Structure 1
Amino acid sequence: MTLPAKIHQFLRMDRVKPSYRYNRYLKYPALGFNGGVAMAQDGDVHTLTTTWSPRYVLPRIVPVAHGVDLNIARLSQPDCLERLAPLLPAYEKWLEVTALRPVGKGLEGPKAAEQQQAEEAQLQQDLLEWKAELGAIRSGLAILEESRKHWSGPGPQKSRLGIPFEAWVSMNAAMAKVAAGKGYDEWRLFQLAFILASIPAFATRIREFHDFYTPEVAKHANAVTLLYFSTGGGKSEAFLGLLVFVLLLDRLRGKLRGVSALMRYPLRLLTLQQARRTLTAMAAAEDERYHRGHPGEPFSLGFWVGGSNTPNWHTTDGYTDVDTVQDVSPSGEVAHRETQPYKSARERWLKLSSCPFCGSKSGSTLALRRKPGAGGNALGHYCTAPKAKCSWNERFDEPTPLPFYIVDEDIYDLAPSVLLGTVDKLSALGQSQGTIRKFFGMFGFAPFVETATGRLFVPTLSRDWEGRAYSAEPGHPLRRKLGTCSNANWTRVPGQTGHYGRSDAGSMFGFYSWSVCAVKRARIFRMESPFNVS
């Protein structure tokens, strides 16, 4: 079909909310039924033809020239801040160009003038937000600059002022290993900016950096950050980079164990995928922490889903179908994994497909075993690779479970560094007083630690005190916890918002997670008599 251009009235995607960002892309030449429509323009003539399949060419997002060195490995070197220097002027230049954006382009009809006025107001509001983000990035870089002046080299810092920079270079070293395993070697610019903008919220928890906690930083730190990008755009790597930074920062500032981050997802399958992905990044961070001599326990992940997916307690049916590490060595897994009833338990509860430290590249498999005695009968995943092939096994003289907990009882008692689970676990907190107390015990409220196993002990009933005594002495069977689990605050790292299919579901997730935040912040959780021994 051929027609003059001046009489051709384009259709408009009226279901899309108008925005100066994409108003120019909302028109299409015609609507096809059981097919698509393509348009060719020759002077003042438009030619419309049908196609067998609808087609839309999505405008590409082209990054602007910025001069920032995005190589992750190079950003783990002492001179990394010079490589980031072009970021601030490039952002400022982008703001200048964006402020001149023609917001009226693509607007038509009788309300075009009114819409343009609204779009201009929205642009001005967005510019204020972008300038605030620029300020957060500037503050993050300033903290790193100040910290580098006092950095004493890799490892624990002689001055607490050196902690943020050590966490920064260690994080990049860890993420460089993660990237190498996936075939890339650079940050995307938005990932780098996101991490830098988030640094003030965490680094200012160190007393020596309190002066950086300005009203602007406080506003940015206390706001929910929505990290939006299309699938495959790099959202997960961005918040995993921030997660690794926070884990390293916590160890360096004296938090030797306990939850540093809470991640929750709406779907169990999605949760398992993200758990494996997160654990791989944490394994790289743990290798870096160990080799740099940072204090504290190994970074660990609690897979908190329970129910039919993982055991809730050590008394769960089938729990003893998993052999102890003393009875059956993990090295004999190939022959043992077909033995019933262990085979059935393994099929239900083996959640990792490969070792997060070595990737099971040597052809080794994973084993499930219980570790009684000093291990507290915890259910663990064991890598069967030889020491020369696995950096985790290389550390220990005897088989040691990977830092990955799947049993609710173990998670509550061992307080993993990262708690990752589904929102229904949060919603179940109000159903049991004992569960509430055990849950908040992970966040620093457990009063005791069992000396033999290192497990937290939270008395909930009067009979829990029978035959027990406590002491501040390290060698006592039940000793008072001395605060290494609850040092300052913890981080809430949410799942990706794009995975929440319904707005009411997102509201419910927010309600439960922020309820937890409120209780932790107010520190109103207390044990009533006779359990109050503070």
Structure 2
Amino acid sequence: MMTKREFLDVRNEMLDRLKKDLIGPESIDEIIKGKPLQKYLTGILWPINSSLAAEENETNSSEGKHTNQENMESLSPLAKAMNPSAVGISFLIDKNNSSVNINVDCGMYEENGEDEHWKRVQHSLSDTTIDFSKKTGKKNSLMFPDNKSIRIEWLSRPYGDTYAVSLFLVNRYLQETDEHKIDNKCLFQPKIRLTGLNNLPFVVRQAFSNNDENYKDEDTKTNDLLYRDESVFAVGHSISVHWADISPDKKRAGALETHVIPAYEIPMVIPPDWDKGGTLDMVELSKMKNGEEIKEALTPLCDEYQVWINKRIEEISDIKVETHKETAEKHMNNCQASLNRMRRGLELINSKNNTVYFNSFCFANRAMALQRKQSVAARTGKKTEEIEAKWRPFQVAFILQNLEGLTDPESPDRKIADLLWFPTGGGKTEAYLGLAAFTLAFRRMRKTQGYRNDAGIAVIMRYTLRLLTIQQFQRAASMICACETIRLENPEMFGDRPFRIGLWVGESSVPNNFDDAEKTVASIKDAIIHKRPLDFDSSKGTPVQLVSCPWCGEPLIDEDDKEKSKVFLKTYKANKPSRRIIIHCSNKECQYHPSSSKEGIPVLMTDEEIYRLLPDMLIGTVDKFARMPWKPEVQNLFGKVKGEKNGWGFISNGETSDERKFVSHVTKSQGLTINDAANLYPPELIIQDELHLISGPLGTMVGLYETAIDYLASVDINGTMTGPKIVASTATIRNADKQIEGLFTRKASIFPSPGLSHKDSFFAKQRALDEYPGRLYVGIFPPGRSMKTSLLRVYANQLASTTAMQKKYSSESLDPYQTLVGYFNSLRELGGAVRLIEDDVPSRMKTLENQNETEESLYKYKIRDYERNVPELTSRINSSDIPKILKRLEEPFYKGEKNKPIDVLLASNMISVGVDVSRLGLMVVNGQPKTTAEYIQSTSRVGREFPGLVFTIYNWIRPRDISHYEEYFAYHSAIYRYVEPISVTPFASRARDRGLAGALVSMARLGFPEMTKANAPGNLSENEKIREDIQKVLIDRAKEMKASPQEVENHLNSLFQQWEEAIELSQLVYSRNRKKDISNLLYPLGMKENGVFKTPNSMRDVEATAGIYLRRD
């Protein structure tokens, strides 16, 4: 069995190889082949009057040359971005301890013979004392004893009780006329180390933020408390700086040291192992005989949480800062409120008068246990009885605290949106899938209350990106299969209707109707039979989104293996009589093999099937809800159906005469009966994953349309309209209260509530690095070099390293680092890297391999023969390719040559959420991502199971990149603190211009049967109550969001007036009419068509343009 040490040894060597390659040296007096400026990429101090080497004078270099003309006598400009002559640090030093010990090292190279060999010469300033209290306000300098052109220069000024010091290592050589004779005038591998005399701490802590409490919001106060022990002691200039020997009070540091290539290992924050009594075993909980046993099993969790809360309350008195105390008390109040909700959930399960809670909880535990065991068995080949299925404490706690609000529409908890805030990879998905499983069972077993309890959508899970949607669909489908297994065992309790899940996404991902899906399936089968490449209309997507059985893991399609690909002929079938895409498993032992199941895998892949059969769970993108005003069938999702035809499905109020004739013909030919449908309950649980992505223009539009969704999903409970329970999840968010209020008009409750430190929230604790290795972040800042050159050097080094290391390490320990994930902030940058990887990287690897012969090197390299057609995970790939790439990413390098693992994967921000491939361990980030949230999310795709390694290449012409590099340790030591706040403003004037009409029409068309048909817009004039109801809902919503109700009312009056005027002028339909005597109410945003309201087809249509309006006061 592999040990953590083996993986760490591999990771450490890979980092060391990169450092030796990019900055050197192999040894203190190494001899290298070729010029040092060509061999080394960074960590170079140029002569003071140098210009950029000709071979690196590329696009965008003019900005750097401009800085060359700045005042050479000032210190900071010498550390200019393009070709710095100095590197340095700034810090505060205690006036009472102003003397420090300084050690500085660097190397220079001189020609060694005539065969292009260069020898390194070490230069050092050792154990020298500097007193920063002397000659303040003036520039001071200290020459190296063996070289007067290498100097330490500094400037110190009084600053309160401290001196503010800026200290630099400066190359004072002058460049010769011949630009190419510069290598012997450059300094390489600079390093500065400062320590206090007599080992006393001398560096004074710098403030993290503005200390004026009047300018701090609650999030800032929370971060000030949680990160109060994380200190910043210095900032670098063209170099990073690290501090050590921190005093017990966290206010002083005893050492500062610069790093050309900084590395920081972020500790893992993970759920603690549970050993405090009771049980969190899913199987054991599912088999308990009554609610009392479950209460007894889970009460120890609640009791331990109470003990933890009490201890934290006692610690508040030790906090020195008053505002920190106030924030700490709020945190503890929130923790106590969460615990009280957990206990109420346990009481519901233990209810003697209503065993539905108990049975639903047992059902959820068994479903999640089956899902866990089947998924692990499919991935590892283990027997299910050998696999443990246990909740993490936060998962079961989250379920418990949501039970009351989920099941009781009149509970105050129903008006709370619960945000599950947990680090990436911690198990958030399993927590809300467990809650979803409870919801499905509860709905089937509870009393009808005037609604059917066996049909209709109970849970909606929403995502923002199709990649995330499709991958989560696979995981949720596994859970639904487990639910269906339980139902088949006990149809008396859970009904005869199968549990199903539907995938509701755009037609570029999945065909929206059966006819297109049938053609695609037929096209794939024809290609397989005739051994042709797959060729179908990518604009229509593909229903083949499951590439393996979600229950047993058996492949459903394998395009890479010609023989295995034939399995698709048996798995996917287009059934014309039922107009269904039926998916069976080819494994005869699987319960979804045709011999065991007529229904097949319980998934619905097309919109047509979803609207008709209404799966219990719906997974979709937020974009899809922009179709509400355009598609009358969407009302079925909210339980607003006209009727049901047994054996066929539910009928929409918007059914056209042609559709009615077709359905009548089909149902009559099959002898199906027609019934009116009892009311269907609308969705009761809406799960919004990756909440941080619902922000900015997209979030604003989602918030506006959310008014319609909430309206359509609400029911009248004793005279009060009550909407669904909303839960959300994220690993990175700030300003959550305002965002949730803007999206859902609900109060936010963050779980787990933070405690007194970011290291411990009871449900998640920061672990020691020697116990749980963290993700190692490494910064690369190559001034004056192009990003392509830097990218080339890093990619080639890492690919050639892992290949050469195969003789030293096992295949298993190398596997996490064999697939290099390249992350890019734009498609333009990614596109530029494709050719680099195809042509230049192999050439550079060959150069590294040749060094084995020309230099005595600690490390050897070997060229990697990798796939030149590099796969991508970006918005420009076909949806049909996404499942295949995800499946290939799971393939390790040590299972033989028949499998085709991925050597290099290029990705955009599409990968930043939802890609959960445990084997990935290596990523190279091309430039600092736009936001900290994106940086955390994207880099968290690697290092989930094995020690991760993340390289970030900084762009020297971008000030933001420079700042992140110079403050590397401060940033990474408190990275969640720097997550940017986000906002949504659904009722802002420009947002209303683009989306209010769409929300209004959605509410009218889908909320009232008489308004649903294509030709029904004219009915508005006869129904004043419709207008009054919608107007009241929208205005009340605007008030709750603190928007101007008067402005919203005026805007609504204007829209309704336009609608009424259009009715008077001609016959009115909703859309898709081109006759002159008939008008359209809606026309697509950005299109020049006949219509009244411009309405988006996608939530993202808002990002096309932005207007700026100047108001004269």
- TM-score range relative to shorter protein: 0.7 to 0.9
Per-residue deviation, 1:247: 0.9
Give the whole-Å Cα distance in 2 for the aligned partners of 1:501 and 1:53: 33
- Per-residue CA deviations over 1:234-269 (Å, capped at 9, x if unaligned) read 111100110111111112225212101111111111
Aligned pair partner of 1:290 in 477, 488, 491: 488
Match of 1:135 in 2: 340
Aligned pair partner of 2:329 in 100, 116, 124: 124
- Per-residue CA deviations over 1:482-508 (Å, capped at 9, x if unaligned) read 34xx1465211211324x174443343
Asked if 2 retains the 8 angstrom alpha-carbon contact of 1:414 and 1:456, the reply is no
1:54 aligns with 2:263: yes
1:480 aligns with 2:669: no
1:270 aligns with 2:468: yes
Per-residue deviation, 1:350: 0.8
Matching residue's letter, 2:611: Y
Give the whole-Å Cα distance in 2 for the aligned partners of 1:458 and 1:501: 32
Give the whole-Å Cα distance in 2 for the aligned partners of 1:393 and 1:447: 33
Per-residue deviation, 1:45: 8.1
Aligned pair partner of 1:242 in 435, 456, 478: 435
TM-score by length of 2: 0.39
Gaps of 5+ in 2: 1-193, 211-218, 377-386, 557-563, 666-670, 717-1002, 1017-1113
- Per-residue CA deviations over 1:153-186 (Å, capped at 9, x if unaligned) read xxxxxxxx22211111121111112223336522
Distance 1:476 1:54, change over 3 A: closer
Distance 1:309 1:59, change over 3 A: closer
1:420 aligns with 2:611: no
Q: In structure 2, the residue corresponding to 1:176 is in which secondary structure?
A: helix
CA RMSD for the aligned pairs? 3.7
Asked if 2 retains the 8 angstrom alpha-carbon contact of 1:29 and 1:39, the reply is no
Aligned pair partner of 2:582 in 368, 377, 380: 380
Asked if 2 retains the 8 angstrom alpha-carbon contact of 1:350 and 1:381, the reply is no
1:87 aligns with 2:301: yes
Per-residue deviation, 1:276: 0.8
Give the whole-Å Cα distance in 1 for the aligned partners of 2:699 and 2:271: 31
Match of 1:527 in 2: 1009
Alignment of 1:168-317 (within 5 A): 168-180=361-373, 181-182=375-376, 184-204=388-408, 218-253=411-446, 255-293=453-491, 294-316=494-516
Matching residue's letter, 1:411: I
Match of 2:952 in 1: none
Q: In structure 2, the residue corresponding to 1:380 is in which secondary structure?
A: strand
- Per-residue CA deviations over 1:290-342 (Å, capped at 9, x if unaligned) read 223321422211111122111122354x7435349xxx9xxxx7995656798
1:353 aligns with 2:547: yes
Match of 2:279 in 1: 69
Distance 1:278 1:219, change over 3 A: same
Q: In structure 2, the residue corresponding to 1:55 is in which secondary structure?
A: strand
Per-residue deviation, 1:476: 6.4
Give the whole-Å Cα distance in 1 for the aligned partners of 2:247 and 2:338: 45
Asked if 1 retains the 8 angstrom alpha-carbon contact of 2:682 and 2:713, the reply is no
Per-residue deviation, 1:361: 7.2
Per-residue deviation, 1:144: 0.8
Match of 1:154 in 2: none
More strand, by proportion: 2
Distance 1:273 1:361, change over 3 A: closer
- Per-residue CA deviations over 1:198-243 (Å, capped at 9, x if unaligned) read 11123336xxxxxxx6xxxx22222111100111111111001101
Matching residue's letter, 2:195: T
Q: In structure 2, the residue corresponding to 1:232 is in which secondary structure?
A: coil
Match of 1:156 in 2: none
Asked if 2 retains the 8 angstrom alpha-carbon contact of 1:459 and 1:465, the reply is no
Distance 1:495 1:59, change over 3 A: closer
Matching residue's letter, 2:542: R
Match of 2:610 in 1: 411
Give the whole-Å Cα distance in 2 for the aligned partners of 1:99 and 1:501: 35
Asked if 2 retains the 8 angstrom alpha-carbon contact of 1:37 and 1:54, the reply is no
Match of 1:497 in 2: 691
Asked if 2 retains the 8 angstrom alpha-carbon contact of 1:323 and 1:342, the reply is no
Matching residue's letter, 1:308: S
Match of 1:101 in 2: 315
Give the whole-Å Cα distance in 1 for the aligned partners of 2:700 and 2:1012: 38
Asked if 2 retains the 8 angstrom alpha-carbon contact of 1:279 and 1:356, the reply is yes
Q: In structure 1, the residue corresponding to 2:553 is in which secondary structure?
A: coil
1:368 aligns with 2:572: yes
Distance 1:508 1:226, change over 3 A: farther
Per-residue deviation, 1:81: 2.9
Per-residue deviation, 1:57: 5.0
Give the whole-Å Cα distance in 2 for the aligned partners of 1:200 and 1:424: 30
Asked if 2 retains the 8 angstrom alpha-carbon contact of 1:70 and 1:189, the reply is yes
- Per-residue CA deviations over 1:71-128 (Å, capped at 9, x if unaligned) read 22111121333211212322222221222234875x7xxxxxxxx3333232333333
Q: In structure 2, the residue corresponding to 1:225 is in which secondary structure?
A: strand
Between 133-142 and 352-361, report the one with greater CA deviation: 352-361
Asked if 1 retains the 8 angstrom alpha-carbon contact of 2:694 and 2:702, the reply is no
Aligned pair partner of 2:350 in 112, 130, 145: 145
Between 93-102 and 228-237, report the one with greater CA deviation: 93-102
Between 275-284 and 450-459, report the one with greater CA deviation: 450-459
Percentage of matched positions with identical amino acids:
23
Q: In structure 2, the residue corresponding to 1:493 is in which secondary structure?
A: strand
Matching residue's letter, 1:389: C
Give the whole-Å Cα distance in 2 for the aligned partners of 1:469 and 1:409: 16
Match of 1:31 in 2: 235
Give the whole-Å Cα distance in 1 for the aligned partners of 2:425 and 2:567: 29
Distance 1:297 1:336, change over 3 A: farther
Q: In structure 2, the residue corresponding to 1:242 is in which secondary structure?
A: helix
- Per-residue CA deviations over 1:40-78 (Å, capped at 9, x if unaligned) read 369998232334423255485674974342222111121
Q: How many residue pairs get matched?
A: 477
Between 346-355 and 15-24, report the one with greater CA deviation: 15-24
Distance 1:8 1:468, change over 3 A: closer
- Per-residue CA deviations over 1:418-468 (Å, capped at 9, x if unaligned) read 1111111112212x2xx1x31111322111122342343434446666699
Aligned pair partner of 1:443 in 631, 638, 661: 638
Matching residue's letter, 1:131: Q
Give the whole-Å Cα distance in 2 for the aligned partners of 1:370 and 1:45: 70
Asked if 2 retains the 8 angstrom alpha-carbon contact of 1:88 and 1:134, the reply is yes
Aligned pair partner of 2:699 in 506, 511, 525: 506
1:40 aligns with 2:245: yes
Match of 2:108 in 1: none
Matching residue's letter, 1:174: A
Asked if 2 retains the 8 angstrom alpha-carbon contact of 1:312 and 1:408, the reply is yes
Matching residue's letter, 2:490: R
Give the whole-Å Cα distance in 1 for the aligned partners of 2:309 and 2:196: 42
Matching residue's letter, 1:382: H
Asked if 2 retains the 8 angstrom alpha-carbon contact of 1:74 and 1:80, the reply is no
Asked if 1 retains the 8 angstrom alpha-carbon contact of 2:201 and 2:246, the reply is no
Give the whole-Å Cα distance in 1 for the aligned partners of 2:608 and 2:662: 22
Q: In structure 2, the residue corresponding to 1:383 is in which secondary structure?
A: coil
Matching residue's letter, 1:450: K
Give the whole-Å Cα distance in 1 for the aligned partners of 2:683 and 2:245: 60
Q: In structure 1, the residue corresponding to 2:713 is in which secondary structure?
A: helix
